[in-house]
């Protein structure tokens, strides 16, 4: 799954050297940060998977995407999009947690379909499903159980799709999973801080690859972020060195596109 994020950073980051390679791992990706940058990053991942890998993508979101996210507007890649590539992305808009569970469970029925199985499943803004009216009044332990049920179903479903792809001897058999969440924030001393989120603890058990975005600008205009990708056993090879943390600087360009540039990882000190 990390390989798709690596392709995104390279495709929209001309300053990133091509010799940098992200070793693939089998765990899902958890994207943590502001909803705007999350949606843009997930949309870029969907488009990159469809165009460069030629795979089918399922994109779950509670809010309909009416236009290209800000990270894709004005991008030279947006003008090069082909309708056939966009047709590989299927957007599904469940309104409630129950709708999401039903839609994910129904993916097992795709095995009987002659069409190619999806290779990437994306859930944008999981917190909007697990904090809705049907779950917001539940005790914390019960809410955590609900989140565990959702992410376990997602994990089992992509594993099921992978196994059936292998049975068909298809290329690019591994089905990938990316989930985004915007943690709650609290004010302290005039600063906006991330509040401890018990839901994150549950998600990290299943989605061990984590991409965290941190805003580098204060005030209303947020146009720069630091993206950090990490997971157990991750190795990023480049310039003869292997690092365990990928850091990218993301900047929103005046024309509305996102540009990524590599930030040298901090060396581990003994």
Question: Which whole number is the average pLDDT over 17-28?
Answer: 58
pLDDT band at 216 (very low <50, low <70, confident <90, very high): confident
pLDDT digits (tens, 9 = 90+) for 238-266: 555 555 677 888 888 777 778 888 786 55
Per-residue pLDDT at 189:
44
Question: Which whole number is the average pLDDT over 99-112?
Answer: 85
pLDDT of 23 over the 60 cut:
no
Cα separation of the two ends of the chain: 30
Question: Which whole number is the average pLDDT over 155-177?
Answer: 78
The string of DSSP codes covering 145-199 is HHHHHHHHHHHHHHHHHHHHHHHTT-SS---EEEEEE---EEEETTEEEEPP-HH
**pTM assigned to the model:** 0.82
Q: What is the mean pLDDT of the chain?
A: 75
d(CA 9, CA 61): 23
pLDDT digits (tens, 9 = 90+) for 186-200: 544 444 444 456 778
pLDDT band at 24 (very low <50, low <70, confident <90, very high): low
Closest CA to 70 of 261, 259, 267, 266: 259
Per-residue pLDDT at 169:
58
Per-residue pLDDT at 99:
94
Residue 35 · residue 212 · CB < 8 Å: no
- Domains in the chain, CATH or no CATH each: 2-263 (3.40.50.300)
**Cα separation values, 175 from 82, 167, 218, Å:** 23, 13, 38
Please state whether beta strands 57-61 and 89-92 pair in parallel, antiparallel, or not at all (unpaired).
Answer: parallel
């Amino acid at each position: 799954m990390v390989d798709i994020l690596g392709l995104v950073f390279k495709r929209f980051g001309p300053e990133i050297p091509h010799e940098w390679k992200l070793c693939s791992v089998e765990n899902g990706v958890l994207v943590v940060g502001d909803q705007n940058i999350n949606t843009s990053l997930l949309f870029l991942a969907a488009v990159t998977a469809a165009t460069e890998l030629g795979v089918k993508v399922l994109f779950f979101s509670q809010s309909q995407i009416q236009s290209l996210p800000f990270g894709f507007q004005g991008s030279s890649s947006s003008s090069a999009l082909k309708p056939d590539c966009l047709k590989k992305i299927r957007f599904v808009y469940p309104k409630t947690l129950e709708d999401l569970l039903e839609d994910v469970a129904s993916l097992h029925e795709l095995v009987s379909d002659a069409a190619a199985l999806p290779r990437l499943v994306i859930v944008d803004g999981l917190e909007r499903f697990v904090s809705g009216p049907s779950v917001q009044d539940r005790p914390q332990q019960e809410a955590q159980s609900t989140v565990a049920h959702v992410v376990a179903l997602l994990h089992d479903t992509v594993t099921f799709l992978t196994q059936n792809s292998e049975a068909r001897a298809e290329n690019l058999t591994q089905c990938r999973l990316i989930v985004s969440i915007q943690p709650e924030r609290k004010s302290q001393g005039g600063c906006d801080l991330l509040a401890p989120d018990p839901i994150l603890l549950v998600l990290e058990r299943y989605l061990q690859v984590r991409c965290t975005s941190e805003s580098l600008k204060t005030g209303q205009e947020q146009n720069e972020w630091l993206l950090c990708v990490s997971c157990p056993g991750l190795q990023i090879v480049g310039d003869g060195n292997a690092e365990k943390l990928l850091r990218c600087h993301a900047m929103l360009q005046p024309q509305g596109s996102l540009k990524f540039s590599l930030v040298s990882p901090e060396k581990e000190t003994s």
